[in-house]
């Protein structure tokens, strides 16, 4: 072992090279070599489930008891950081409920320290990302309620932002979650978030709005009634590039709806905003133009959608620069990027269950659902 008590990686490497370089025939390990090798490997092996149980025990301990034992809020945040690493694995995320750790984690959303509330929301977000089982478990544990409370009214902007991130992960591809979000007055919280002065909170709110509008066309009238398009127009002139892109993308989503009659309000103001963005884009140097590719395409698409003519960006050759591919239709999905973490993106594309009604075979009768004791064997028909 190394002098500091950690694994002797140097010695382990030399041992491996000496015994596995292919130049010598394999030989039986001596008991001493075997013991040394096992100790070196076990020194860096963590029993994740056992560690999660230990963290769960800490989370179940009352706050005043932890303080009396010298634990600080920073210690708790570090512990939650570790837990978040463990639940990156979907299996470990689902096991957290089995070992009794989910409810105390959700309890931390009501902690008196803003940093702990924010970090707890971050862990919840990791647990439910593209994970239907954990989404259901969190919903059944009423986890959406404290997340909505923190999102709408937490005095800490960081805690609000982390709560919104967790909500976004919880209700994505989760129809009961979306319905509960609507019933919990979530759209009013989104409106407040758009009116904040924090770019991160604005971006997350815009991305969730776009996802909800894509998920349910009826929500477009809700968004219009709440005045969200006007707020999105304002944010289309934001100094933050990602906020501008997300706002333009949301406006395009609304403008493409030709069925409900919900045209974007104040078309003259929108035209002035788009003209201003076109002017700003036209003055960009080559590097900035390449960086603003999505914004260029969104501005042009929105202009075409609203005014049925190409924007002047197209006339100037600024929609597609030399060496770029033509934009796909529809334009880049800004919201989709924000919701697809690399580790779990594969889980989102789950094959849909087969529907017998689409096949040529005759649909079989489903077995009856027994809500009580079955009939006696002696009952005459």
- Domain boundaries defined on the chain: 45-184
Return the number of other C-beta atoms located less than 10 Å from residue 366's C-beta. Answer: 6
pLDDT for residue 372: 37
Sign of CA dihedral 321, 323, 329, 333: negative
The CATH fold assigned to 45-184 is 1.25.10
Q: Which two tokens stand for residue 290?
A: 């390449």
pLDDT for residue 361: 40
Over the chain, what is the mean pLDDT?
Answer: 83
What percent of the chain lies above the pLDDT cut of 70? 73
Return the number of other C-beta atoms located less than 10 Å from residue 203's C-beta. Answer: 24
pTM of the entire predicted model:
0.75
Model confidence pLDDT, tens digit, residues 85-142: 999 999 999 999 999 999 999 999 999 999 999 999 999 999 999 999 999 999 999 9
SS3 assignment, position 311: coil
pLDDT of 304 > 90? The answer is yes
pLDDT for residue 381: 40
pLDDT for residue 20: 59
């Amino acid at each position: 072992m190394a002098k500091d008590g950690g694994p002797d990686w140097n010695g382990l490497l030399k041992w491996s090279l000496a015994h596995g370089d292919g130049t010598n025939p394999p030989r039986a390990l001596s008991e001493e070599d075997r013991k040394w090798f096992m100790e070196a490997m076990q020194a860096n092996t963590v029993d994740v489930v056992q560690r999660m149980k230990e963290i769960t025990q800490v989370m179940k301990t009352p706050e005043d008891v932890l303080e009396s034992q010298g634990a600080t809020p920073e210690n708790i945040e570090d512990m939650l950081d570790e837990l978040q690493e463990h639940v990156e694995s979907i299996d470990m995320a689902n096991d957290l409920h089995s070992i009794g750790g989910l409810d105390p984690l959700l309890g931390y959303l009501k902690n008196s320290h803003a940093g702990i509330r924010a970090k707890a929301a971050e862990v919840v977000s990791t647990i439910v990302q593209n994970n239907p089982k954990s989404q259901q478990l969190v919903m059944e544990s009423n986890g959406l309620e404290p997340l909505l409370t923190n999102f709408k009214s937490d005095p800490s902007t960081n805690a609000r932002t982390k709560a919104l991130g967790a909500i976004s992960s919880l209700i994505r591809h989760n129809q009961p979650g979306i319905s509960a979000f609507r019933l919990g007055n979530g759209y009013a919280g989104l409106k407040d978030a758009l009116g904040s002065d924090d770019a991160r909170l604005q971006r997350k709110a815009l991305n969730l709005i776009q996802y909800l509008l894509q998920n349910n066309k009826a929500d477009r009238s809700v968004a219009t009634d709440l005045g969200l398009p006007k707020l999105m127009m304002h944010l289309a002139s934001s100094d933050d590039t990602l906020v501008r892109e997300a706002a333009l993308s949301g406006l395009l989503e609304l403008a493409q709806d030709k069925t409900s009659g919900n045209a974007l309000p104040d078309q003259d103001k929108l035209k002035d905003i788009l003209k201003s963005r076109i002017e700003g884009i036209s003055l960009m140097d080559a590097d900035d133009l390449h960086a603003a590719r999505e914004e260029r395409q969104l501005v042009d698409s929105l202009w075409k959608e609203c005014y049925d003519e190409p924007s002047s960006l197209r006339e100037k050759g600024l929609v597609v620069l030399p060496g770029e591919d033509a934009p796909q239709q529809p334009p880049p999905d800004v919201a989709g990027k924000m919701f697809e973490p690399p580790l779990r993106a594969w889980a989102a594309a789950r094959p849909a269950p087969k529907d017998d009604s689409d096949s040529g075979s005759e649909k079989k009768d489903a077995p009856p659902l027994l809500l009580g004791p079955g009939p006696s064997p002696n009952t005459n028909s």
